[in-house]
Amino acid sequence: MENLTPEGFARRIVDLGLASRQEVERAYGELSGGENTTMEDVVKLMQRRGFVSTLQTEKILKGDRSGYFYGDYKVLYLIGAGTFARVYRASKDGEVFAVKVLRKRFRDEPKEMEQFLREGQMGLKLRHPNIVSIFEVVADARNPFLVMEFVEGQTLRDLVRIRGKLPVDLALRLMHEIAGGLAHAAGQGISHRDLKLSNVLISSDGKAKLVDFGLASLSDRKNPDQIADCPNARAIDYAALERGTGVRKDDPRSDVFFAGNMLYHMIAGEPALTETRDRLARLNVSRFQQIKPIHELVPDVPGVVNQLIQRSMEFNPQKRIQSAAALQAEVKRTMDILEKGPSSAAAADNKEGIGAQYEDDDIPTDEGEGYVVMLVESKAGLQNAIRERLKSRGYRVLIIQDPNRALARFEPGEEPPADCVIFSAAELGSLALEAYNKFASDEHTCEIPSILLADRRQTRIISEAKRGPRRKMLALPLKVRELRAALMHVLAGVERRPLGTY
């Protein structure tokens, strides 16, 4: 740790080119402490003005003289780190970028340097809404880096890890976008060759974007007998599949197989292929043949989805879906089939008097992460509709059919099993109303948020329901965004549960 004075810290910002002398002097002059000005005062001021980030501050205090800029790109903070490279958020001329930097220990390794630069050169050719764009490749042997599109969001792996499983419709939509990106790359003669959940980013608006074409290869149609090799650990899975099925290296159907594994992983919460670091185990061809059927993990998975996964992961490449474009078309066909099914079910529910109608706006976000919602509802169709929509927003959902059993789950002095209870009166009628009012009155539950769903024709229930700041009533038919807004309103100020405790 370098022993800097507050004045020295300010001078170092100027010396490093992080801000102009005039900007720093003007800001420093606002501190009225004089000799009593502390380092903490100066650091807070310079960070507040945007002259330095937390990462830059730490580097200055450690005495680092480099790593503040890559070319003209000012490093702001670290956003990702792997064995091969680090990725930073950076800015230039008021715009934000991601800068991917090869780790120092690989810069003298010809193969690693070549692979890193190949990723950049291939990425320059790819412009598609479902692929992270690469704008610049700097092949400086001392400091090679790639300038990429900055995506605000998280990886698909993180999304699945947080939620456990994704709703089928959401998983299919994301796979449709992933396949679209793969199809575009394939049209340029490029296969990805490292498909896994961590190599897909989910932007803040819910769009899937492929990243890391570090193992991507250009198709060599002049050498049809070229066999798959394993230049490094990341390539083993592809090489093992291609060797085991007797196809050439870079067969386009290999990406289809591993895309199928990703779809399986999203829906089941775990991959179809056992994950291991044992090289021999990964090369064992039986790993690709002995895959547990997804319906054993997800009993209610729709048959058309099961078939899609099976055809994507067919061991025999002749029977497998033959290209990324064909995969995208098959995913779309599956989505269309499922869309007709739920709409018919909703119509049937309306005939039975439920009157519940949901809009499919399930863009993946984490707004419900850390919250448990209990739904008190006797109708299976409505249970599934609400559960899947809320799960797609990060909530954990408990289903109970009997209102009295739901109340019994909340015992005085015990940790409440849910952060909010939704009582549905569509079918339960007065039972739901009585439970809702008791929940609002009992001392040990009156501070826990609750929502009552009632048909507009249930005027008595609506008029007799208890009101309050943590109580909300919603009329059926209901839109998803209305339920989400109500949940966010009543849960405002409720502390989220730590990951892994609910």
Tens digits of pLDDT across the chain (502 residues): 567 888 888 888 888 888 888 888 888 887 765 567 788 888 888 888 888 888 888 888 888 888 888 888 998 888 888 777 889 999 998 899 999 998 888 888 888 888 888 888 888 888 999 999 999 999 887 889 999 999 999 999 999 999 999 999 999 999 999 999 999 988 888 888 889 999 999 999 999 999 987 666 544 434 444 444 444 555 788 888 988 888 887 788 999 999 999 999 999 999 998 777 777 888 888 888 888 889 889 988 888 899 899 999 999 999 999 999 999 999 999 999 888 764 433 333 333 332 333 344 444 456 788 899 999 998 888 888 888 888 878 889 999 999 999 999 999 999 999 999 999 998 899 999 999 999 999 999 999 999 999 988 898 999 999 988 899 999 888 888 889 889 999 998 899 988 766 6
Exposed / middle / buried, residue 332 (Cβ in 10 Å: 0-12, 13-18, 19+) = middle
Q: DSSP string spanning 417-442?
A: S-SEEEEEHHHHTHHHHHHHHHHHHS
**Confidence (pLDDT) at 26:** 86
At a CB cut-off of 8 Å and minimum separation 6, what does 201 contact? 132, 151, 153, 154, 155, 156, 208, 209, 211
Which CA distances in Å does 502 have to 99, 152, 158, 369, 373?
36, 27, 17, 10, 11
Joined tokens for residue 153 = 């969001």
Q: Which residues contact 140 (CB under 8 A, 6 or more apart)?
A: none
DSSP, collapsed to helix, strand or coil, labels residue 187 as helix
- State the Cα–Cα distance between residues 358 and 392, nearest whole angstrom: 14
Q: Are 49 and 18 in contact (CB under 8 A)?
A: no
454-473 per-residue burial string, b: 16 or more CB within 10 A, e: under 16? bbeebeebbeebbeeebbbb
- How far apart CA 261 and CA 100 sit, in angstroms, is 27
Residues contributing to the annotated binding site: 100
∠ Cα 53 56 60 (to 5°): 140
pLDDT of residue 353: 31
pLDDT of the residue at 197 = 95
Residues with Cβ < 8 Å from 51, sequence gap 6 or more? 13, 18, 19, 23, 24, 27
pLDDT of 278? 78
Distance between CA atoms of residues 112 and 3, nearest Å: 38
Q: What contacts 447, CB < 8 A, 6 or more positions away?
A: 470
Annotated binding residues for ATP = 100
Q: Is there a contact between 374 and 439 (Cβ–Cβ < 8 Å)? A: no
**Prediction pTM value:** 0.60
Would you tell me how many other CB atoms lie within 10 Å of the CB of residue 263? 26
Q: Report the sign of the C-alpha dihedral through residues 324, 325, 327, 331, in that order.
A: positive
Expressed in angstroms, the distance from the first to the final Cα of the chain is 41
Q: How many CB atoms lie within 10 A of CB 250?
A: 22
SS3 (DSSP) at 464: helix
Q: Which residue, among 153, 59, 56, has the nearest Cα to 98 in the 3D structure? A: 153
